[in-house]
Amino acid sequence: MKQSRFSPSLTAMHAAIAVAGLMAYNSPGHAQTPQPGWVSVSACTPAGPLIPTNTTESCGSDVLQPILAGLVTTDAKTGAIIEDVAESITTTDNKIWTIKLRKGRKFHDGTEVLAKNFVDAWNWAAYGPNGQSNNDWFSVVIGYGDLNPKAPKGEKPPVPATNRMSGLKVIGDHEFQVELKNPVPVFKAQLSYKAFYPMPDSFFADPAAFGRKPIGAGPFQFISGTPDSGYKLAAFADYTGPAKPSIKGVDLRIYTSREAAYNDLVAGNLDLLREIPASKLVADLWKRDLRGRTVVQPRANIQALGMPYTDANPQLLKPAVRQALSMAIDRKAIVDILFNGIGQPATGWVPPGVEGYEPGACGEYCSFNPAKAKELLAKAGGYKGEIKLYYAGDSEVKSAMDAVCNSIQNTLSITCVTSALSDNATFRSFTRSGKADGPFPSNWTMDYPSIDNALIPLYSKDGTSNRGAYENAAFDALMDKAAKEDSATAIKTYQEAERLLTAEMPRVPLWNPAMTVGHSPKVRTVTLYANGRIDYSALSLKD
């Protein structure tokens, strides 16, 4: 693990981020002759096989998004939920949902998308022994508990007696019904998440093979690629959905450094780079280099510090210590210096632009207040030894973690060290293992624009992305209560639950970034989804 210590001044970031240098990188498309009608795009290495029900991280999701199609999708321009494979989704009570499919929609292997492809995929994902990270998305469906029997204390869970949820019923080739345990007003919006996408029959015969070469029903189909070499996705000729692309294909090129990708973009060897390196944002260098070929757009994302909830570091189990750390971070200075003012300091755990967002939900604990931070730390008994911030060595967060550590050290006089784990997969495994003895980046991009998606996966007891192992019975009770309420009432309940997080600070909100995109001269228009991903179907090229 690489470690770094800090100078005594936050303004030292100016010098650090002004020094540009190429880092080692893998660029399979570097100086490649472009294919007519194709766009080359910077990408990162997926953490695991490309199975949607087991992919919860951005690198894998970036590959899967153009390939997959579900019942509904999101309109990139308006954020509205619109039907995709579904012809209609109806309910009279938010509990029993009848779903009718469009006829003739095809998977990339030529088979038709049928009701059984959804029902079989959902049952497979919900079946406990399959170990899918998105398993609990189906916990609202009647019969989920039968597929996930609880283990007697100290023992392994018993083998389920069934692999089918009783709440799912195929009515015909193009119609099925879903019965939920309780009314869920936002269920239609939840269906836009990839956990609910259909699987072709071939998936069930060999999930491992699918993970290497995924088959979806989206506008682009997988042609070739590996986590090391990158991926080529071609426009699917038989696609009849609402997002017919005008380009011929997408060449996703793996880089281990955004600096390297940026240099390729400026040199004309890359067409699209999402998330410009922080060093190039300073003094608008990127705008001068790219001569206006830039896009800035708010992003439904929150970047934060995850906190370990194990005895690996008992000092960090004290809420006052976590509150002190939060108040010791000068968020505005970091956003202004490191990101040239692009984005904004976070004031809560829900990103702006999301239904249910409440400014200032974090209260005073997300404000930079050195005196109060020192007071809280002293009341907690101080902090002995150094504090270590972990991050993935192949990510682009080093400068941000250095800045956070610098602010903590300067404010609280705690020696702060950043520690780079080798890659994203190692980082995710370590932060889920319970062995992490220090904070770590815990960033979250919304799967759909509703407050429940910012809270349930991260802070509920069985949340799929609850890497800190946080548990709060009162919070979980409010999640259960909101699930049974109408939409307007549920939002107020979720907001109440969000405010509970101030007492324990399971994650320290840092900032809400804006998405920055640079593109080559051949790109005419770039449209981004609210989560910051590129809408390749809306991408247009110059003649």
Asked whether residue 46 is domain-assigned, the answer is yes
Side-chain-side CA neighbours of 349 within 13 Å: the count stands at 29
Q: How much is the pTM? A: 0.76
Q: How far apart are CA 340 and CA 284, in angstroms?
A: 8
Q: Which residue(s) pair with 519 in the sheet?
A: 272
Gyration radius from the chain CA atoms? 23
Residues 187 and 252 in one domain: no
SS (H, E, C) 327-342: HCCCHHHHHHHHCCCC
| pLDDT confidence of residue 422 | 87
Instruction: Give the position of tokens 């693990």.
Output: 1
Asked whether residue 276 is domain-assigned, the answer is yes
Asked whether residue 17 is domain-assigned, the answer is no
What the block records as the tokens of 331 is: 């968020």
| pLDDT confidence of residue 33 | 61
**What single-letter amino acid sits at 284?**
D
| pLDDT confidence of residue 38 | 97
Last residue of a domain, one of 143, 164, 197: 197
Residues 391 and 465 in one domain: yes
- The 10s digit of each residue's pLDDT in 187-235 is 998 999 999 999 999 999 999 999 999 999 999 999 999 998 999 999 9
Asked whether residue 8 is domain-assigned, the answer is no
Q: How many CB atoms lie within 10 A of CB 504?
A: 19
Which stretches of 332-459 are assigned E, i.e. beta strand?
Answer: 344-345, 387-392, 416-421, 440-441, 444-445
- Secondary element (H or E) of residue 249: strand 249-254
Last residue of a domain, one of 144, 167, 197: 197
**Above 50 in pLDDT, residue 20?**
no
Q: How far apart are CA 351 and CA 115, in angstroms?
A: 35
| CATH code (residue 366) | 3.10.105.10
- The 10s digit of each residue's pLDDT in 287-299 is 999 998 999 988 8
| pLDDT confidence of residue 445 | 85
Q: How many CB atoms lie within 10 A of CB 67?
A: 24
- The 10s digit of each residue's pLDDT in 524-537 is 999 998 888 899 99
Please state, rounded to an integer, the average pLDDT across all residues of the chain: 90
Residues 394 and 315 in one domain: yes
**Above 50 in pLDDT, residue 4?**
no
Q: How far apart are CA 435 and CA 414, in angstroms?
A: 21
Asked whether residue 60 is domain-assigned, the answer is yes
| pLDDT confidence of residue 34 | 64
| pLDDT confidence of residue 447 | 80
Phi-psi region of 143 (alpha: psi -120 to 50; beta: other; left: phi over 0): left
8 Å CB contact between 103 and 174: yes
**Above 50 in pLDDT, residue 242?**
yes
| pLDDT confidence of residue 151 | 85
Instruction: Tell me the CA distances in angstroms from 28 to 2, 70, 112, 225, 231, one per residue in order.
Output: 26, 31, 34, 11, 10
| CATH code (residue 178) | 3.90.76.10
**Above 70 in pLDDT, residue 18?**
no
Asked whether residue 173 is domain-assigned, the answer is yes
Residues 334 and 253 in one domain: no
**Above 60 in pLDDT, residue 5?**
no
Q: What are phi and psi of 83, to 5 degrees?
A: -65, 145
Q: How far apart are CA 281 and CA 290, in angstroms?
A: 12
- The 10s digit of each residue's pLDDT in 170-182 is 999 999 999 999 8
Q: How far apart are CA 281 and CA 18, in angstroms?
A: 10
**Which is it for the CA torsion 37, 35, 516, 283, positive or negative?**
negative
Residues 33 and 89 in one domain: no
| CATH code (residue 246) | 3.40.190.10
- The 10s digit of each residue's pLDDT in 22-49 is 233 334 444 566 688 999 999 999 989 9
Instruction: Tell me the CA distances in angstroms from 538 to 115, 239, 245, 247, 533, one per residue in order.
Output: 28, 15, 6, 9, 12
286-295: Cβ within 8 A, 24+ apart = 286/262, 286/516, 286/518, 290/265, 290/266, 290/518, 290/519, 293/518, 293/519, 293/520, 293/521, 293/523, 294/516, 294/517, 294/518, 294/519, 295/515, 295/516, 295/517, 295/518, 295/519, 295/526, 295/528
Asked whether residue 7 is domain-assigned, the answer is no
Residues 222 and 368 in one domain: no
Q: How far apart are CA 470 and CA 313, in angstroms?
A: 14
Last residue of a domain, one of 197, 219, 236: 197
Q: Considering its fold, how many domains does the chain have in total?
A: 3
Query: pLDDT-derived band of residue 487, with 50, 70 and 90 as boundaries?
Result: confident
Provide the percentage of residues in the chain whose pLDDT is more than 70.
93
Asked whether residue 234 is domain-assigned, the answer is yes
Instruction: Give the position of tokens 């292997």.
Output: 109
- The 10s digit of each residue's pLDDT in 142-177 is 999 999 998 888 788 899 999 999 999 999 999 999
Q: How far apart are CA 89 and CA 325, in angstroms?
A: 46
Residues 508 and 439 in one domain: yes
Q: Of 390, 392, 424, 447, whose CA–CA distance to 59 is shortest? A: 424
DSSP state string for 253-288: EE-S-HHHHHHHHHHTS-SEEES--HHHHGGGHHHH
Residues 368 and 447 in one domain: yes
Residues 332 and 405 in one domain: yes
Residues 258 and 165 in one domain: no
Pairwise pLDDT comparison (1 vs 271), residue with the higher score: 271
Domain that holds residue 76: 70-104+114-197
Residues 99 and 173 in one domain: yes
3-state class (DSSP) for residue 513: coil
Q: How far apart are CA 138 and CA 164, in angstroms?
A: 12
Residues 248 and 333 in one domain: no
End-to-end Cα spacing for the chain: 48
8 Å CB contact between 257 and 274: no
Q: How far apart are CA 131 and CA 126, in angstroms?
A: 9
Query: pLDDT-derived band of residue 428, with 50, 70 and 90 as boundaries?
Result: confident
DSSP strand pairing (514-519 vs 272-274) = antiparallel
8 Å CB contact between 198 and 147: no
Cβ neighbours for 367, distance < 8 A, ≥ 6 positions apart: 327
| pLDDT confidence of residue 120 | 98
SS (H, E, C) 117-152: HHHHHHHHHHCHHHCCCCHHHHCCECCHHHHCCCCC
- The 10s digit of each residue's pLDDT in 349-395 is 999 888 899 999 999 999 999 999 999 999 999 999 999 999 998 77
